[in-house]
Amino acid sequence: MAVSSAPGKVYLFGEHAVVYGEPAVPCAIEVRAQVGVEQRSDSKLRIHAEDLSLDGFTVEYGGTAGSPPDVDVSESLLTAAMGYVDVAIEHVRDVTGEDDVGFDVTIESDIPLGAGLGSSAAVVVAAIDAGTRELGTTLEIDELAERAYQTESAVQSGEASRADTFCSATGGAVRVEGDDCRMLEAPDLPIVVGFDGGAGDTGQLVAGVRSLREEYSFASDTVEAIGDIVRKGERALERGDIEELGRLMNFNHGLLGALGVSSRSLDSMVWAARNAGAHGAKLTGAGGGGCIVALDPSDETETALSYTPGCRDAFRAELAETGVRRIE
Ligand code: PMV
């Protein structure tokens, strides 16, 4: 068996706008998905994930007595997560030229699904890495990131940027603009995450921004304005100017709100963080529900979030300096 893990991420800047060619700056965090892949003697694919098991096309889901699902997510979301693994394994077969090989795949993830922390990217990166290593091939990080991106893109019908998968493969803070991805120098950021217990539908939210952009010119201007914030944010990151980073994150959140992708619980958590003295706070990822990211070196934001109605969980997240980790 080969086991790899890969980190989730927060968007410091640029989600949604990145879909239209603006840059984005995601940053990997030490919250990981771990995937074990073991070759089978037949050509079947069996996927085990906590309360979910998937064998061929049969999905069984439901908390067993005494071990209810940890996170409130719908069955369809979990099924979708398994769809990513299916395509990831196709890439493993393609890379190694072993078309008929079957696998047992075990997923353990601390990253809430569909909540803006890059859960699917982390699972895909770890699955491709462990799967190829199980067959004796170790991929270069660039190829791993490329294969992981192709996987997300196929599952999301072409509506995926390279941001999540590249960041999860490399770790650290990265800059993504179209096909151009690179790592950035970043200081140790005081990241706090707030999670509302829910999830947004990335496809629907991306489609919503697309139609808003077609109908209203303010929406395309907003996307461009987000691009300007990202460029300023990159420079602030390189200078290690946390105050300016926070201010720019606040602006970015306001613009995402104008694009209609925030929600009451995300806004409540953002305001709770700001009132607690965070340098800045914004939603991360597609929005609609899920997580916010705040910058606060003190414990105030985490404490305030834990009392904020609508916040299910709040935690400090270290920047993940390593991306994919080869465990076994
Ligand atoms: O919610 P996430 O982590 O899947 O992020 C989606 C980010 C978008 O910019 C909205 C879409 C994308 O693929 O970049």
Nearest alpha carbon, ligand 1 atom 14: 161
Burial category of 10 from C-beta neighbours within 10 Å (exposed 0-12, middle 13-18, buried 19 and up):
buried
Ligand 1 proximity of 284 Cβ (cutoff 6 Å):
no
* Residues in the annotated binding site: 112-122
Which carries the bigger pLDDT value, residue 234 or residue 61?
A: 234
Most confident of the following: 101-105, 115-119, 266-270: 266-270
* Residues in the annotated binding site for ATP: 112-122
Task: Determine the residue of 12, 157, 161 to mutate for testing ligand 1's pocket, defined as the one with the most ligand atoms within 8 A of the Cβ atom.
Answer: 161
For the chain, which domains are there? 2-184 (3.30.230.10), 191-317 (3.30.70.890)
Ligand 1 proximity of 36 Cβ (cutoff 6 Å):
no
Start-end of H helices in the chain = 75-96, 119-134, 141-155, 163-170, 202-215, 217-239, 242-258, 264-275, 300-306
pLDDT tens string 265-289: 999 999 999 999 999 999 999 999 9
How far does the centroid of ligand 1 lie from the alpha carbon of residue 286, in Å? 5
How far does the centroid of ligand 1 lie from the alpha carbon of residue 228, in Å? 19
How far does the centroid of ligand 1 lie from the alpha carbon of residue 29, in Å? 16
Task: Determine the residue of 179, 204, 206, 222 to mutate for testing ligand 1's pocket, defined as the one with the most ligand atoms within 8 A of the Cβ atom.
Answer: 206
pLDDT tens string 133-172: 999 999 999 999 999 999 999 988 777 789 999 999 999 9
User: Annotated catalytic, 100?
Assistant: no
Catalytic residue among 55, 110, 164, 221: 164
Cα–Cα distances (Å) from 42 to 38, 84, 88, 132, 275, in that order, read: 12, 21, 18, 17, 57
Asked casually if ipTM beats, i.e. exceeds, 0.90, the reply is yes
